[in-house]
Amino acid sequence: CALPISAQAADPDQEDDEVLAITGTLQDATALAQQLTNLGYAARSLQELPVLGFALMRLGIPGGQDVPTALYSLRQTFPTTLFDANTLYGPQAAAEPRHYAKDLIGWTEPLHECRLEVDVGLIDTVVDGGHPALKDSRVLAKNFLTSGLKPAPPDHGTAIASLIVGDPKSNTAGLVPSARLYAAAIFGLRDNDRVVGTTDAIARAIDWLGQQGVRIVNLSLSGPSNQVLRLTMERAHGSGMILIAAAGNEGPNAAPVFPAGYAPVMAVTAVDAALQPYTEANRGDYIDLAAPGVDVWSARSGRGGRYSSGTSFAAPFVAASAAVLLALEPDVSAEAMRQRLTNAARDLGSPGRDSTFGWGLLQQPAGC
């Protein structure tokens, strides 16, 4: 097996001075950390994630090494341990340009009259809980940013939160305003003003949501594939979580993005008021559903609202629909939920599932 070729410059989609390791137990992680310390690595954090069933460790790599070289060496020395880069992920939003979205999928107003007792998880930026659309909503927030990292502006998370649980009396009413929202903040702001969230933050946020009993998780974010992220999604799905992610805004010819590209995750693309696909949306056989995501009205940080576009803004429509179904049938499995949502979709494009719209346009579930 050939040694990896050292990159000329650090990969901008991963932390350039650390890697992640996964072990089965905290005891195994502690023993591994001692061995790695002797090899010049620094154990920056070590945490047991009981819902996911593994321990997660952040390792600072020795000076003079880059990430590919460190990963090659670690995988050769410890072949039974999972190591990968700490990949960076970003919110899937596009710049801002009608309140068409709910009508497009047959969403009945006012749904707030149905007091749905259901929890929804959101992994995103910090949410502006003081916004008029959210100050009276049930939002429980927790920060998962790496120590010392400045929080990213709350615009993206606030917009997604308002689409799900926005006060019906505000001008940015949510789809399921009576739901309880668990908001996990993972996105920080780098010195170059880049908004990023790390793989380990996503894993810790997922595990926290699982510990709170949250089954529906909205992931309006994307990035490259990563073994730790893949295992996180598989374990979360196996525990009963319903994972819903933005399909990506990299363009119709782009490769799949993740976590949407993983089989346990429902990938959501965006359409406009005329049922045309969002021009920047990814396409591929991993797309599950389409939902409104072009010029969607949502809250903006501070006060008021704005129109936004991107697959980020389509995903919460699916999360809200899943919330309605879960409230009516609390024991529904993740796969049964996927079947209910896709079977009810309005076919768009080529008959059956296709790479542009998946199974078609989301429809509001019956009931309440």
Residue 48 three-state SS:
strand
pLDDT of residue 56: 98
pLDDT of residue 312: 97
Angle at 185 between CA 129 and CA 116, to 5 degrees: 60
Q: What are 288-316's pLDDT values in tens digits?
A: 999 999 999 999 888 789 999 999 999 99
- pTM comes to 0.91
State the DSSP string of 53-66. Answer: TEEEEEEEPPTT--
CA 22, CA 46: separation in Å to the nearest integer?
10
- Cβ neighbors of 336 (< 8 A, separation 6 or more) are none
Give the count of beta carbons closer than 10 Å to the beta carbon of residue 259.
Answer: 28
Q: What are 194-213's pLDDT values in tens digits?
A: 999 999 999 999 999 999 99
Residue with tokens 């590919």: 68
Burial call 23-34: b when 16+ CB within 10 Å, e when fewer: beebebbeebbe
- Helix residue spans in the chain (DSSP H): 26-38, 67-77, 101-104, 155-165, 199-211, 227-238, 315-328, 334-343
Strand partners, 49: 54
CA 262, CA 345: separation in Å to the nearest integer?
21
Strand partners, 169: none
Q: What are 46-91's pLDDT values in tens digits?
A: 999 999 999 999 999 998 899 999 999 999 999 999 999 999 999 8
Phi-psi region of 148 (alpha: psi -120 to 50; beta: other; left: phi over 0): left
Residue 87: in which H helix or E strand, if any?
A: strand 82-91
Number of H helices, E strands in the chain: 8, 17
User: Mean pLDDT in the chain?
Assistant: 92
Which of the listed CATH numbers 3.90.79.10, 3.20.20.70, 3.40.50.2300, 3.40.50.200 matches domain 90-343? 3.40.50.200
* Residue 104: both structure tokens together: 């497009």
Strand partners, 88: 198
The distance of Cα 43 from the centroid of its chain, to the nearest Å, equals: 26
Q: Does 106 score more than 90 pLDDT?
A: no
Kindly state the average pLDDT of the residues 134-142.
96
What's the pLDDT band for 96 if we cut at 50, 70, 90? Answer: very low
By residue count, the chain amounts to 368
Strand partners, 339: none
* Residue 6: both structure tokens together: 């050292």
- Please state the domain extents for the chain: 14-80, 90-343
Give the type of residue at 64: G
